[in-house]
Amino acid sequence: MSSDTIEIRGLEIDTYIGVPEEERAVSQRLLVDLTLWPVRQFSDMGDRIDATVDYFALSRRVISLAAARPRLLIETLADEIATRVLHEYSVKRVDVRVRKFIMPDTRWVAVNCSRERC
């Protein structure tokens, strides 16, 4: 696998998420980190935007996906993000980290999810 990657770090999303109903009643700010392995190596992209991943469009897609509906688990959101990225963008692998700022005495809790094309 190529070691060429694109990273998006600290993408801020707002969503209704949490196991107790009271937690889902208020929108929460989460941070999402993505590492993408494009289908083409950078040396094969010929300095063309259509040959790479439009990371601005991908970021907007993740924000809209998160806002689309409430969820109980950040695990569910991470899986949905990874699945959509693989199906909608020219990547062969994606790593997703979702950070949530909810537990007392912690900076955050996080889940990590990796998916690859078969």
Residue 31: pLDDT band by 50, 70, 90 thresholds? very high
Q: What is the CATH number of the domain that holds 110?
A: 3.30.1130.10
Tell me if residue 100 is catalytic: yes
DSSP assignment of 52-93 equals S--HHHHHHHHHHHHHSS-BS-HHHHHHHHHHHHHHHSSEEE
Tens of pLDDT, residue by residue over 73-110, are: 999 999 999 999 999 999 999 999 999 999 999 999 99
- Sorted by sequence, the CB contacts under 8 Å of residue 90 that are 6+ apart come out as 38, 39, 40, 52, 53
The answer to whether residue 16 sits within a structural domain is yes
User: In terms of residue numbers, what domain contains 105?
Assistant: 6-116
How many distinct structural domains can be found in the chain? 1
pTM: 0.94
The answer to whether residue 1 sits within a structural domain is no
Position 35: which residue type?
Answer: T
The answer to whether residue 97 sits within a structural domain is yes
The answer to whether residue 90 sits within a structural domain is yes
Q: One of 93, 97, 100, 115 is an active-site residue; which one?
A: 100
The answer to whether residue 105 sits within a structural domain is yes
The answer to whether residue 36 sits within a structural domain is yes
